[in-house]
Structure 1
Amino acid sequence: MSDPRRLHIVAAVLTRQDGRILAATRPPGRSMAGRWEFPGGKLEPGESRWAGLCRELQEELAVTVRDGRPLIRLQHDYDRGPRVDLDVWRVTAWDGTLEAREGQRFDWFQPEALTRLDFLDANTPIVAAARLPDRYLVTPNVPPGPEWTDRLLRAVGQGSTLIQLRGPVVRDPRHRSLLREMLPRLQAAGARVLVNGDADLAREIAADGVHLPWRRASGLQGRPVPRPSLFGVSCHNGEELRHAEALGADFVTLGHVRATPSHPDTAPLGQDRFLALAAATRLPVYAIGGMTIHDLPELHRHSIQGIAAIRSLWPTPD
C-alpha cells in the first residue's frame, strides 16, 4: 500500500518486440525539464494502479495499453522536490501511434543505451530493472562437461538470457579455452553473461559483468565494474541489501526463499520475510532458493524482478 505522505507515481517501461525501450524527456515548463524519464504520472484518488497507468499513457502518448505487469516499486526523496512512491510497470502491448501530447521528446533505445541518458535521479534502479530479464540462470558448481555450451544455449532459448558462470568453469585456469569459446556464442544468442566473484576475469574475457557473493561484496566501498557492465550481489538480510545499494549494485539475489538441498543447515526466509525485505530495497530483486518459473506470476505481482535458479533453469541433457 502506498504511503499517503508520498506522491504515488505510476510509470511505464514500454518495450517493443525487438527489445528497444521507450524513454522521454521532461516537458518544457516542468521541473527538471529536458532530463529523461519513463512516461507516467500521479495516481488520482481512488484510481487503481492499472487504470492510472492506462490513463497516463493515453494522456501523454495517445496509446491504449493492452498488456503489462508490475516491474519494480521504490521510494525516492528529491532534495528540493517531492517524496515519491514510484510504481513502475513493463508494458509490452498497446494500440495507437505514439504522439508527444505534452511537448516532450521521446525515442526508442537499446537497453544498454539507457545507461548513457541523463535520467532523473530516481530512475537509476528503474533503468537497471528495464535492462534485466525475469530469469537468471546460475550454473552448477561442478566441472563443465563438453555439452555445457549447448545446454546454456538451450537455456537462453528458453528465456534465461542472464547467466552467472560460477565454480570450476571460472576458477580453474584449465577451463579458460572453454570459457573463451563459450562466451561469444552465448552473447551472440542474446545472453548477458556474468562471472561469479572475479571482476578482473570478467574484464579479461569481455563478460557482461560480475556477480559477487556477500563475503566479497562486504569489503567493497564501490562498484567493481563501471556501467553499463552489470553488477549483482548475493544478499540474505536487510543489512546486506542496504550495503548492496550503497555499492551501486544493479540488482541483487535474495534468499534462500525456500529450503534447498544445497543449503540444508540454513533456515529459509519464507515468502513473507522475503517480500518484506524485497519491498524495503530500491534494487531489482531476484528470488533464489527453490524457485521455478511457476513462481514468476506471483513474484511479478509483487514487483519482483524474477527468479534466480540452478536446477529449475538448467536444461537436462538431450
Structure 2
Amino acid sequence: MKVVHVAAGVIVNGRGEVLIAKRPDHTHQGGLWEFPGGKVEAGESVPAALARELLEELAIEVTHSRPLICIRHDYADKSVLLDVWKVTGFSGEPQGNEGQPVAWVGADQLLDFAFPAANVPIVAAARLSDRMAITGAAASVEDYVEKVGRAIDRGATIVQVRAHQLDDATYVEVAKAVAALCRRRGVVAIANTVPGLYQQTGCHGLHVTSERLKGLSERPVSQQAWFSASCHSPEQLRKAEALGVDFVTLSPVFKTTTHPEVEPLGWSQFQEWVSQAKVPVFALGGVDAEKLKQSFDCGAQGIAGIRDFWEGDCC
C-alpha cells in the first residue's frame, strides 16, 4: 500500500492555544478536525512543505518550528505518514483560505473534538510539554513540595512522583501534596505507583514501571487521565501502545549513576526505536536541558529526568 507523506503543524499562539481546522465533508476523513498541513512533494523537505501548505491554507508564514512527532497510520483504504512539527512562530492571522472552519482551542480542549484515528497521538503530543521532572529523595512531605516547586521554577511542566522507598500511606500523602501544588502552578502531576494507590493521590495520571507494565492486560485508568509507562526495548514499546498509553519514557539514552550496569542506547538507537513508536516518547537517562534540541531532532517529545530538576540526593 502506498504511503502518503504529510507535513502537519501543531500551531501554538502566545496564549498556548492550538489551531485546528475542519476537513471538508467530501474528503478522506471528512467532517473531522485536523492539524493543518498537506502532502510533501517529491524532493521537498518537510519544513518547506509545511511552510507552503500553511501559507496556502491559512495565509500565515512560518518563522519558527521544530519536529514534534512522526506517526505512520494504516487506514483500510490508505496509509499516511504524518510528519508533525510544532509551530510557535508565524506572521499573519490564520484564516480558512479554502473555506474550511478554523478554531483556536486550549490544549486540553482538544479532547472535545473528533479527529481522525491517526491524529490521536498527535493530540497527546500537542497537550504535553517537553520537560518532565522525576522526583528524587526528600526528607519530608514539606521537603518534597519545596523541591517540586523549585523543579517547576527550573522549567518542569510535568512532575512524575516517583518514591518507591516510601510506604504506601506516606507515598499517598506526598503525592497528594505534590498534586495540589502542581494544580496551583498549572503543572501536570503523574503518580508513579500501582493503580490502586493512584486513585488516592489526586494526580492527573498514572505512570507504571516496565515491571508493572508486564502484568497489565488493559489500560488501568480512564481515558480522561494520563497513562504512561517506562520502556527499555521495542517489545515494551509495543506492549505499552497495545495498552493505550498516552506517552512513554525510553531509557537510558546515556549511562547513568543510578543504573551504571545498563548499556545506554545512544541517540542513534534511541532515534531508531522512536521512529517506530506510535505515541510521544520522552528521552530519559543522562539527558538535561542542553540535550533538549537533540531530543527533538531524534523524534522525542522532550526530556525527563531527576538530576536536571532535583536538588540533593536523587539516587
Partner Cα separation in structure 2 for residue 12 and residue 201 of structure 1: 38
Q: 1:7 maps to which residue? A: 4
Deviations 1:215-238 (A, max 9, x none): 111121221111231111100011
Deviation at 1:105, TM superposition (A): 1.6
Native 8 Å contact 2:175 2:202 kept in 1: no
Task: Give the AA of the match of 2:305.
Answer: A
Deviation at 1:31, TM superposition (A): 2.0
Tell me, what secondary structure is at the counterpart of 1:112? helix
Equivalent in 17, 22, 45 of residue 20 of structure 1 = 17
Tell me, what secondary structure is at the counterpart of 1:164? strand
Native 8 Å contact 2:267 2:298 kept in 1: no
Partner Cα separation in structure 2 for residue 86 and residue 28 of structure 1: 21
**Cα distance change, pair 111–227 in 1 and its aligned pair in 2 (3 A):** farther
Q: 1:265 maps to which residue? A: 261
Query: For 1:1-318, what aligned pairs fall within 5 Å after superposition?
Result: 5-80=2-77, 82-141=78-137, 143-144=139-140, 146-167=142-163, 171-174=167-170, 176-315=172-311
What TM-score do you get using the length of structure 2 for normalisation?
0.93
**Cα distance change, pair 299–289 in 1 and its aligned pair in 2 (3 A):** same
Tell me, what secondary structure is at the counterpart of 1:79? coil
Consecutive unaligned residues of structure 1, counting only runs of 5 or more, are none
Deviation at 1:271, TM superposition (A): 2.1
What TM-score do you get using the length of structure 1 for normalisation?
0.92
Native 8 Å contact 2:227 2:245 kept in 1: yes
Tell me, what secondary structure is at the counterpart of 1:205? coil
More displaced stretch, 146-155 vs 204-213: 146-155
Consecutive unaligned residues of structure 2, counting only runs of 5 or more, are none
**Cα distance change, pair 62–311 in 1 and its aligned pair in 2 (3 A):** same
Partner Cα separation in structure 2 for residue 177 and residue 121 of structure 1: 38
Native 8 Å contact 2:16 2:107 kept in 1: yes
Native 8 Å contact 1:234 1:253 kept in 2: yes
Partner Cα separation in structure 1 for residue 277 and residue 31 of structure 2: 28
Task: Give the AA of the match of 2:63.
Answer: R
Partner Cα separation in structure 2 for residue 32 and residue 295 of structure 1: 38
Tell me, what secondary structure is at the counterpart of 2:142? coil
Task: Give the AA of the match of 1:301.
Answer: D
